Structure formats: C-alpha cells, structure tokens
C-alpha cells in the first residue's frame, strides 16, 4: 500500500533522512518546511533518486496555515503524519529569552497538536492513520540549559497518550520515537553551544555530556529512526499506540 506521508522539518536532518527512507519503500512524501526553497530541493533530491515527493511551505505554529493544509493537499490526503520539526536554544533559565522559550514550545508541542487536529478527521474517515512524533531522550530525562526543549519534548509524551485514548475507536495510532543524540546539523550546533556554556572543548561535550550517559557510547543513526518508524506503519503495529519508543543505547536503564 502506497501511503502519503507528511514530514515536518522534512528538508534536512532527521526529517529528510526519514523521508528518504520512506520514499525508498515506494511511498509518496510531502516535505513540509518553513523554508520552501529547502523543501523544494529536498523533494527534488527524492525524485532524482526515483522516489515520489512534493514540497509544501508551512509554519507549524500558524493555526490558520495548518488548518488550510487538508484542502491544499486534497489530491494527496495525508495517511501518515511525522511531527519532526524542531529547534534548539541552549541557555540557563535566568538568561533564556522569553520569546525564544515560547517559540520552542510552539514549534515542538503546539505544532504537533495543530497538525494532528488538521489531519485526524481524514484518517478517521479512511480508518487508517499513523502519527509519529519525533521526541528525544529529553522526553524522558533532562539536561541543564535546555529548559524549553526538555519541557516541549516531555509534553509530547502526554499529548500522544491522550490522543491514543481519543483514537481507540479507529485504526489510528500515535507514538513517540525518543532517540539519544543523532548526529545532525542541529546537534552539531548544540556541541558548539554547550562547549561555550560549559567552558569546555567540543570533544569534551561529545564524550562527557552527550555520550557518557550511554552504555553503548554511540550516536543514534537516522536509519535506526526511519526503520522504527516504518514498523509503526505496519498492521503488526496496529495495537502499539500512546507508546514511547526509546533508542538510547541504554541511557535510561541507569
């Protein structure tokens, strides 16, 4: 079955990696990003590799833009929603800009709620839908200087559990993938910011902050995330809902 898969923040990083992997399975990808030029380039790359894709510009924090998406995409109604868009800001709480704190919450928690609200009616009508949130190890644990990010990612888990209860009457599931650090441009920026905030080298950030809590001492690959997401699309996963799927090299086993 070919599915229409909508990936937010799909132009780069984890989002694009997941999109590429789904395209290789023959699905149609809708690359959603606030940067339409980047989204178009990402969709073009998928098509050049033999996949099917289109680009759409959306600010996931804008309720009106999000509400307009089902009509905008009526030719390719969304079967799978991947809530991946995210940003990071590293600062102690005393110096954390209020508008930046609000922005992180809006993108990573309010956005997924608005998108779910927009696409759930058609999923119910077809009696098939999969909502996959890209959470984080920080959905489960905290790190200093990341109060907004940690709060937003923790919130995703409660949101998913609630929607799982509300969709128990149909073949729709919602789950949250929670990886430890994935080596993406976003994480590369974090390494630099953490080094500055903690007064240590970037190598020390990697070894003493990012990988130290992990018994396996390894970054998570985008392919691991993509393959986990693929399983959630299958009929074998129809009763997996409201769950937190952790890819953390043993971090939270401590």
At 185 the pLDDT is 76
Neighbours of 134 (CB within 10 A): 28
Full-model pTM: 0.94
List the domains of the chain with CATH numbers. Answer: 4-179+221-247 (3.40.50.720)
Handedness of CA 223, 163, 154, 87 (dihedral sign): positive
| Percent of the chain at pLDDT exceeding 90 | 91
214: left (phi over 0), alpha (psi -120 to 50) or beta: beta
Query: Is 119's pLDDT higher than 90?
Result: yes
Average the pLDDT over 164-169 and give the result.
98
Query: Tell me, what's the pLDDT at 142?
Result: 96
Dist CA 137 CA 150 (whole Å): 9
**Averaged confidence pLDDT in the chain:** 96
pLDDT at 1: 86
- Look at residue 55 in the predicted model and tell me its pLDDT: 98
> Residue 244 is encoded by which pair of tokens?
């937190």
Query: Model confidence over 184-227: pLDDT tens digits?
Result: 877 888 888 889 888 999 999 999 888 999 999 999 999 999 99
- Annotated catalytic, 149? yes
| Of 128, 145, 149, 181, catalytic | 149
Per-residue pLDDT, averaged over 90-103, amounts to 97
pLDDT at 103: 98
Burial of 167 per CB tally in 10 Å (0-12, 13-18, 19+): buried
174's CB contacts (< 8 A; 6+ apart) are 116, 130, 131, 132, 133, 160, 163, 164, 167, 241, 242
Per residue in 13-29, pLDDT (tens digit) is 999 999 999 999 999 99
- Strand 244-247's sheet: what is its strand order? 52-57, 28-33, 4-8, 80-83, 129-134, 172-179, 244-247
Please say whether the beta carbons of 109 and 152 come within 8 A: yes
134 - beta bridge partners?
Answer: 177
pLDDT in tens, 74-83: 999 999 999 9
Mean of pLDDT values over 40-68? 98
d(CA 153, CA 150): 5
In whole angstroms, what separates CA 188 from the centre of its chain?
Answer: 17
In the structure, what pLDDT confidence band is assigned to residue 42 with cuts at 50, 70 and 90?
Answer: very high
């Amino acid at each position: 079955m070919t599915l229409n898969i909508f990936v937010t923040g799909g132009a780069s990083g984890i989002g694009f990696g997941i999109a590429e992997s789904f395209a290789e399975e023959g699905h149609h990808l809708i690359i959603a990003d606030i940067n339409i030029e980047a989204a178009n380039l990402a969709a073009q790359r998928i098509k050049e590799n033999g996949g099917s894709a289109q680009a759409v510009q959306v600010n996931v924090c804008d309720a009106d833009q999000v509400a307009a998406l089902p009509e905008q995409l009526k030719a390719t109604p969304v079967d799978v929603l991947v809530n991946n868009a995210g940003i990071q800001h590293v600062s102690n709480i005393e110096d954390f800009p209020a508008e930046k704190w609000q922005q992180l919450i809006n993108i990573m928690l309010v956005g997924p709620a608005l998108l779910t609200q927009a696409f759930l009616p058609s999923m119910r009508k077809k009696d098939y839908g999969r909502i996959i949130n890209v959470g984080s190890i920080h959905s489960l644990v905290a790190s200093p200087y990341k109060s907004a990010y940690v709060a937003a990612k923790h919130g995703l888990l409660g949101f998913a559990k609630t929607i799982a209860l509300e969709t128990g009457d149909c073949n729709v599931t919602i789950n949250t993938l929670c990886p430890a650090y994935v080596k993406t441009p976003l994480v590369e920026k974090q390494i630099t910011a953490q080094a500055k905030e903690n007064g240590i080298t970037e190598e020390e950030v990697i070894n003493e902050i990012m990988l130290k809590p992990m018994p396996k001492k390894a970054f998570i690959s985008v392919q691991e995330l993509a393959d986990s997401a693929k399983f959630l699309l299958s009929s074998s996963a129809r009763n997996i809902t409201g769950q937190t799927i952790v890819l953390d090299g043993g971090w939270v086993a401590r």
